[in-house]
Amino acid sequence: MQSNLILNIQDLHKSYGSVRALRGVNLQVQQGELFGFLGPNGAGKTTTIRCLLDLIRPDKGSISIFGLDPQKEAVKVKELVGYLPGELHIEHNQRVGSALRYFAQLRGNNLDWSEVKVSAKRLELDLDLPVKNLSKGNKQKVGILIALMGKPKLLLLDEPTSGLDPLMQQVVYEMLREAQAAGSTVFFSSHILSEVEALANRVAIIRKGRIAEEVDPRHLGSMSMQRVKVRFAKPVPRADFSDLPGIQLLDGTNDQKLRFQVEGSIDPLVKALAKHKVLSMETSHLTLEEIFLAYYKNGNQEEQA
């Protein structure tokens, strides 16, 4: 297994002044994986990716990409990597096609331009449009094309579907799966639980600069959480909701208005509510940070200590 190691990160630390962005990140990615890097905004995802490409220097730790040190062998590493930054900056007065050809030249023009045009059509991207006229979503599509051009051996993608509508997100998922099938290793960051669950073969969860856990993406569905506010026609016994699987009764204003936290399926709560007359029910999904706080309470207490 070690011979197939593409990406190896050991004890990576990075601070911005007094802010500790990375606190000892350890990760290994094998050849051919579609690896999800999941965490809320500010968790350290972008900092990690920038360190991988030597765009910023870590304070401590080591990085190996295809056995190369990105600080000492930066050009060789970049020849092997397709990169999508979290914030893409392109010359505004260029047309999309010209911008793509410029990046193709940087890669030595070793690509089939007809394939670029086919990919642009799949993404519904007009190559004749000026970059300055593009929406955020269309600029994201340009970044995706730049990253995929030349079929790099490793894709490093920072929030690849940011700004895209749900249908276009599915197109990007297909393109990344195709890149993997063609032999590329894909490392992508995301703060969307369902996206990583749908796309990744393996997932590392980062929170507050540390890897909280590495998980099988099939287990992420059980981490989904939502809050439910219920108003009843009359006060109800709280005991009716005390032993429901995955259901936690939170504080309510009174026995006629109750709040619940639901982990996984809401079905047990719905069946329990059916025994009473419900006037209204309001649901809201927890943010990824709120989910992580619920799942990694001990780690949070250790950080505060």
Residue range 22-35: average pLDDT?
96
Per-residue tokens: 269: 């709560």
pLDDT band at 220 (very low <50, low <70, confident <90, very high): confident
pLDDT band at 8 (very low <50, low <70, confident <90, very high): very high
Residue range 184-211: average pLDDT?
92
pTM of the model: 0.81
The domains located in the chain, with CATH, are: 2-215 (3.40.50.300), 224-304 (3.30.70.250)
The whole-angstrom separation of Cα 144 and Cα 120 is: 10
pLDDT confidence of residue 3: 61
Percentage of the residues of the chain whose pLDDT score is greater than 70: 93
Please write the tens of the pLDDT for every residue from 117-156: 999 999 999 999 999 999 999 999 999 999 999 899 999 9
pLDDT band at 40 (very low <50, low <70, confident <90, very high): confident
Mean pLDDT of the chain, nearest integer: 89
The whole-angstrom separation of Cα 20 and Cα 22 is: 6
Q: Is the pLDDT of residue 65 over 70?
A: yes
Per-residue tokens: 87: 């914030």
pLDDT confidence of residue 296: 66
Residue range 300-304: average pLDDT?
44
Lowest mean pLDDT segment, chosen from 42-46, 185-189, 290-294: 290-294
Residue range 10-15: average pLDDT?
97
Task: Please name the residues in contact with 260: beta carbons below 8 A apart, sequence gap of 6 or more.
Answer: 227, 228, 230, 241, 247, 248, 249, 250, 269
pLDDT confidence of residue 252: 65
What stretches of the chain adopt beta strand conformation (E)?
Answer: 5-16, 19-30, 34-38, 60-65, 81-84, 154-158, 185-190, 202-207, 210-215, 225-232, 247-254, 257-263, 278-285
pLDDT confidence of residue 301: 42
pLDDT band at 303 (very low <50, low <70, confident <90, very high): very low
Q: Which residues pair with 158 in a beta bridge?
A: 189
Which tops the pLDDT comparison, 145 or 218?
A: 145
